[in-house]
Amino acid sequence: MIIKKTPAEIEKMRAAGAVLARCIKEIADGIVPGKTTTLDIDVMAEELIRKYKAIGSFKNYRGYPNTVCVAVNEEVVHGIPGARVVFPGDIVGIDLGVIVDGWHCDSAITVAVGGEVSPEAGALLKVTKEALHKGIEQARPGNRLSDIGHAIQSYVEKRGYSVVRDLVGHGIGRSLHEEPNVPNFGRPGKGVRLEEGMTLAIEPMVNIGGFAVETLRDNWTVVTKDRSLSAHFEHTVAITKNGPDILTMAPVEEA
Ligand code: MF3
Ligand code: CO
């Protein structure tokens, strides 16, 4: 069952989203190339969540051991923080969920460490972020669920990249994961009709190589099968009568 939210509930989710956006931005700004480890990123996330009086939603979720998921280079998602140092030229996915006043928001960005990145990696980041926004544009009443994934997939594949199939976005609200699943691929015009009050975490994962992924022996870290670079961007979005409303943005900031 898809749980629709009232405008007042959406405002509560927006409060969580504003905190989350700030946390993610401050984490990204706190990375010191050649020094910061992925575990340092986790510590930053914990401290920021505490500073904003929120609760992290990933820790202990299905046994996930940390606060944030950190995915470096060929890692797609669900990377477990550890001793790995991130260097200039690496791309690092920062995926975080928080709860404020009982309401969840979930968001992710992928950043170039030190601002330095190969042209290939830079183009991947740009296409993935743009693909997220192409999907978000479709999150409006009257469209169907698969219009979101179709917009993402066509944007990505037209540019020669591939979209991960094995992991999908999701409904979100009082729980981190609610119905429906939100694939980043598919034929248009399929699935449930989108309605005002639905809240979705839309999260394309885009690879330079093939779309196939595999999970490492830690049972969490998802990597590309061909070890090509992968990027991930995610926003929590409310469907309103006027169209999509991105909840995971810091006030006075662009997407
Ligand atoms: N953003 C991811 C998702 O929506 C991360 C959750 S995985 C967790 O599924 F286990 F770490 F929580
Ligand atoms: Co998510």
The ligand placed nearest to the CA atom of residue 108 is 1
33 Cα–ligand 1 center, Å: 25
d(CA 35, CA 172): 35
3-class SS at 105? strand
- Does residue 201 have its Cβ closer than 6 Å to ligand 1? yes
d(CA 207, CA 160): 10
| Ligand 1 atom with the shortest distance to the CA of 63 | 10
170 Cα–ligand 2 center, Å: 6
The whole-number pLDDT of residue 146 equals 98
| Ligand 1 pocket test target in 61, 168, 178, 232 with most atoms within 8 Å of CB | 61
Amino acid found at 189: G
| Ligand 1 atom with the shortest distance to the CA of 167 | 9
d(CA 156, CA 27): 27
- Which H or E run includes 39? helix 38-51
The whole-number pLDDT of residue 253 equals 52
- Does residue 106 have its Cβ closer than 6 Å to ligand 1? yes
- Does residue 42 have its Cβ closer than 6 Å to ligand 1? no
| Ligand 1 pocket test target in 41, 46, 59, 64 with most atoms within 8 Å of CB | 64
Q: Which residues contact 116 (CB under 8 A, 6 or more apart)?
A: 33, 88, 89
CA R_g for the chain:
17
Domain ranges of the chain: 7-249
201 Cα–ligand 2 center, Å: 6
- Taking only the tens of pLDDT, the chain with its 255 residues reads 999 999 999 999 999 999 999 999 999 999 999 999 999 999 999 999 999 999 999 999 999 999 999 999 999 999 999 999 999 999 999 999 999 999 999 999 999 999 889 999 999 999 999 999 999 999 999 999 999 999 999 999 999 999 999 999 999 999 999 999 999 999 999 999 999 999 999 999 999 999 999 999 999 999 999 999 999 999 999 999 999 999 999 876 544
For the chain, the residue count is 255
Q: What is the dihedral of CA 190, 130, 247, 108, to 10 degrees?
A: 100
CATH class of 7-249: alpha beta
Query: Judging by beta carbons within 10 Å of its beta carbon (0-12, 13-18, 19+), is residue 188 exposed, middle or buried?
Result: middle
107 Cα–ligand 1 center, Å: 10
The whole-number pLDDT of residue 75 equals 98
Q: Which residues pair with 69 in a beta bridge?
A: 95
Asked if 183 contacts 203 with a C-beta cutoff of 8 angstroms, the reply is no
The whole-number pLDDT of residue 251 equals 75
